[in-house]
Structure 1
């Protein structure tokens, strides 16, 4: 399962020379829309999307939140759909 965490506009640097420090800006770059998502391996990836797909992916966004366990004081990060969602502590479940 992939977790969509952001919808962003970035620049496609096609046909520019990355090694040349003069072309590291947005010279010759085109704007593209895309999503940042976390795949099954836990790696952050980017995928291009069309403008028509933005409302669909906006409904599938996950939020990264930090949680603190009240029993053991362990701080951990997790992905939730809503602000009111809570996760079980991975330290106390052992």
Structure 2
């Protein structure tokens, strides 16, 4: 008795689904950069430089985490937004 071979080859495995989370995180980081730069007229120059430096660090971490940890990128944008709010309130209260 011979083994029967299938008439057509098995279908190729489906490609992995692309997660939208890292894209949302990068969009959030872009919004945080606009917030950081937009407060240049409200905050002292050193606070704006500190916010932009923190944003650069967050952006580098986001680029490093793009593939291995895509679910963490939106949290980075949230951390940037929280840092921005704390710095704006803190600097305005401290320099009164």
For normalisation by structure 2, the TM-score amounts to 0.24
* Larger helix share, 1 or 2: 2
**Structure with larger RCO (C-alpha < 8 A, sep 6+):** 2
Indicate the structure (1 or 2) with the bigger Cα radius of gyration: 2
* Larger strand share, 1 or 2: 1
